[in-house]
Structure 1
Amino acid sequence: MNPNYFIKTISLSLILCTFSYGELIWSEGNLKKVDQISLEIVVSGDQDPTWEEKLTQISLLFFEGYKLKINPKTFSPNMVINVSILKFNDLSISSYDIDLSVFDLFISKDKYLDNISSKKIIKKFKSGIIYQQNLFGQSEHEKIIQDVENSLVSILNTFINDWYQDNPMKQF
C-alpha cells in the first residue's frame, strides 16, 4: 500500500474529526453579561515573529462587527488563544492546535457567604476557565499558515455564536 495514501487518509480523518467542538455543556451560561474582554495570542512553533501580530489583527477584525468589545485594559475576563504548530521534517505534513480559553475571577460560595455575613472586603480571588474550545488539525507545510488562520476564524465564530446564546439581547 502506498504510504502517501495512508498519510492522506489519516490526515483527512483527523481533519474531519477536528470540526467537533471541544467545549462541553459546562460552559453554558458562563458568558452571560460579558461585554468586554482582553485578548492575548501566543504562538509557538513558528519562526515568523510577525505572524503572531497577524493573528491578533485577524482576531480584532473578527470581533469588530460584534457587540463584544476587545479592550486591552480589561483585567478580567481575559481571552487567551494558544496556537501551537508542530512541523515534521521527514513528512510534508504539519500539525496544529488552537486553544481558545476565557479566564475570569471567581470566589467560592463558602468564602463569599463567610465574608458577606461579616461584611469583610473580599481580597483573594481565584482565576478559572469559564469557556474553552480546542481545535486540532493537520496540513501540508505550504498551506499551514492559511489553514491555521481559517481555523482561527472558525473557532472565533463558534465562540461568538456561544456568546450570543448566553447574551441573546446583544444581537439587536
Structure 2
Amino acid sequence: MDITIQPGDITKIDADAVVNAANSTLLGGGGVDGAIHRAGGPQILAETKKLRETALPDGLPAGQAVATTAGNLPATWVIHTVGPVYSASEDRSSILASAYRESLEVAEEIGARSVAFPAISAGIYGWPMDDAARIAVETVAESDADMTVIFVPFGPEATAAFEAALANLA
C-alpha cells in the first residue's frame, strides 16, 4: 500500500475512485458530499436514487460503503461511505474505522488501483481533526489492499493533522 497526502479539492484528484463522505440518504448534502454531487453531475444522483429504490431503501448505514459512477469527475467511481457523528460520551471510532475499511474493500471489488479519501466525519459531523486523521491513516495502513491511497485534506489544519498521523506510523 502506498499512502500519500495531496491537500486540495477531492473533486479534482486523479484517482480511480474518490470517496464521498456521504450522509445515509445518499442524495447529496453539504461539504464533500455536496461538492462531489455538484462536480460529478446528475449521473451520481441518478445512481444513488436507484440504490435507494432497490438495495438500500433505508439508506446506507454508518460504517458501510457503496460505489457509483463518478459522472463528470476525473475518477471512474465514487465510493460513498457514511461516517459517524462524533460523540464525546460514546466511542464511535470503530464505526469511523469501518468507513475506511469498507471503502477499501469496495475499491478492491470494483478494481480501483488508486483511491482518494477526504477526512471522513471531520467536517459537519464534528470529529476532532487530529483524531479523525489518526484513525484514517492507521486504518488504511493496516489494510492489505494493493493500491495507492491518497488522503485529500482540505485546509491547513487538516493537512497538518494528516501529515502528523502519517509521520507517526514510522
Larger Rg: 1
Q: TM-score, normalised by structure 1?
A: 0.27
User: Which structure is richer in relative contact order (CA contacts within 8 A, separation 6 or more)?
Assistant: 2
- The structure in which a higher percent of residues are strand is 1
Q: TM-score, normalised by structure 2?
A: 0.28
